[in-house]
Amino acid sequence: MRAATLEATQALVTSMETHTSANDWAELLSQWQAVGQQWSNWWSRDATSPMPAAPPSLEIGNAALAVLAPTGAWIDPAAAAELARRYNERVQALWQRAIAADKASPAAAGAQAAVPDRRFGGKEWREHPYFTWLRDAYLLYADYVRELAALAQGDPESRKRVRFLARQYADAIAPSNFLATNPEALKLAIESGGASIAQGLANLIGDAQRGRIAMTDESAFEVGGNLALSPGSVVFRNELIELIQYAPATAAVYKTPLLLVPPCINKYYILDLRPENSFVRHVVDAGHTTFMISWRNIPPELGHLTWDDYLEQGVLQAIGAAREISGSRTINALGFCVGGTLLACTLAVLAARREYPVASATFLTTMLDFADPGEIGVYVSREYLAAREPALLAGARVHGSELANAFASLRPNELVWNYVVSNYLKGRTPPPFDLLYWNSDSANLPGPMYAYFLRNMYLDNRLRDPRALTMCGEPIDVSRIAMPSYVYASREDHIVPWRSAYRTIELIGGDASFVLGASGHIAGVVNPPQKKKRHYWTNDLLTDDPDDWLARAQSHPGSWWPNWTEWLVEHAGTRRPAPTREGNARYRPLGPAPGMYVREKPA
């Protein structure tokens, strides 16, 4: 099916380059719509379904109810009827306004107020009564769908899935997403003589061949060329990780080194993008000897690796190497996202062994309590895992594109439909953006590791329970993580809800500080101080209620990075002359940073 769809699209692009008459364009528009249906079938047929289909349990009376049906929830018929009555009244009122506007002068019709929705920001949505009505009718129906979802009854998880699917459905059917109902795209097609449509189809072919929607101009970036530029050397390599030691930037460095544990579902250079926004550059310039784990993009022969392997071959190996190279008895460690979860598990294993090589721990947007994992939880059900677990445990890999698509779907208008409209309907190339390039540079995970993570954390939430899990042969208890900890969360994080990240301070031992930053999962973390953007909150009084903590917190302008580096200095020891080279006699440099593993692409 994919080959046939690509052939049909390529033929249509060729056709568009040679047809110029109005009749030709009418025929080509019809062909475009037909090819579009093929693409729709492709994506919907080949997409990995997060949940197996279940028998409908809602009475199907319209399209909105139909999209909610497979979730196992139900809606009170009387409440649904009352909502439908109110919706019909609003539709009638909208129709009357549309008729009145059509009879008004063109100037009056074009003077309608803009809608505070980026999808309909173009003046074309206000200048033509038909498109104004289409926009308003859609917004009215989208509100109806969301209100209908809010009426759903059932267990909390079913209600959450209803709301999620309702939002996905409402966002997908927006008139801005289709050529025939997007006046901005139609105007551009006319003005360009159809070139925008031809280019859009070419963009679609390119994205299909890559297996993902382009969010940035990927030709503008190269790892090791203009990304991940901090100088250093790979000082250790095994089948799972490379360990990078960065070259010092100061004459003297703190005695206690810093180990960075990035998320393993993406590449490490989110913490070392460009010099002006590099977290690595920030800490090295502050005088910290810094090590970075670079996770392997799992090839087929490593599909058997487990969660324990990520601890033993990953974090534990890196801690040992960093200590030996630096000559320091202890290190400071920072974990980001799932890297923070891996770090916490490693620290709990070490505590069970009565080993304490880590002086302080920093957890960035990390969950240890998965009671409320946010909307990503709609993709994780027992039925889903039961269907996939046999293959995962047998060594099937989880492809990075699958995870990237799941995360993008949590913000469909910003991370899916925005690019569908711009890339395909308008034929534009997205501008260069380093964060989005990194976001598209995903990594594969081994099946056993992934299955363990989903079942024991997301589904059963066992990490928070003392001795409920055994890792690396040790019953673990995260409350035995007794060193000072710095816990950071982002207020608009759609992947790790900040209130869930706040629960980390209740689970771990030792003195903890909690800091809340503005923005989301990535932009909140990557916020260099020189940009003077955003703000963050602090409050030394850690209460049981995160909202109470925030209500009493003090807001500070700018980046949280300086606040963290001030905290880190307290645990970094005295200064001493900076090393003259990376590694030592045992851990000899194997090559320059950024290393080999970060350049590997999913296969």
- SS3 label, residue 108: helix
pTM of the predicted model, to two decimals?
Answer: 0.86
185-217 tens-digit pLDDT: 999 999 999 999 999 999 999 988 888 899 999
Question: Any idea which of 183-192, 256-265, 408-417 has the lowest mean pLDDT?
Answer: 408-417
Query: In this structure, what token pair is assigned to residue 31?
Result: 């062909």
Spell out the domains of the chain, with CATH numbers in brackets. 50-191 (no CATH), 232-370+453-599 (3.40.50.1820)
Place of tokens 């202890």: 330
Q: How far apart are CA 103 and CA 320, in angstroms?
A: 78
Query: In this structure, what token pair is assigned to residue 560?
Result: 């949280």
Backbone angles phi, psi at 223, to 5 degrees: -65, 125
Identify whether the C-beta of residue 414 lies closer than 8 Å to the C-beta of residue 403.
no
In terms of pLDDT, which residue wins out, 111 or 232? 232
Q: How many helices (H) and strands (E) does the chain have?
A: 24, 15
495-545 tens-digit pLDDT: 999 999 999 999 999 999 999 999 999 999 999 999 899 999 999 999 999
> Residue 222: its pLDDT value, please?
97
471-485 tens-digit pLDDT: 999 999 999 999 999
Instruction: Tell me: pLDDT of 16 over 70.
Output: no
% of the chain beyond a pLDDT of 90 = 74
Q: Is 345 assigned a catalytic role?
A: no
Instruction: Tell me: pLDDT of 281 over 80.
Output: yes
157: Cα within 13 Å, side-chain hemisphere: 15
Residue 180 is given by DSSP the state: G
Identify whether the C-beta of residue 208 lies closer than 8 Å to the C-beta of residue 214.
no
> Residue 250: its pLDDT value, please?
98
365-401 tens-digit pLDDT: 999 999 999 989 888 889 889 999 999 999 999 999 8
Q: What is the rounded average pLDDT for all residues in the chain?
A: 88
Identify whether the C-beta of residue 275 lies closer than 8 Å to the C-beta of residue 281.
yes
Please tell me which residue in 264, 337, 345, 472 is annotated as part of the active site. 337
22-63 tens-digit pLDDT: 444 445 445 444 544 444 443 333 333 333 333 233 333 355
Mean pLDDT (whole number) for 139-146: 94
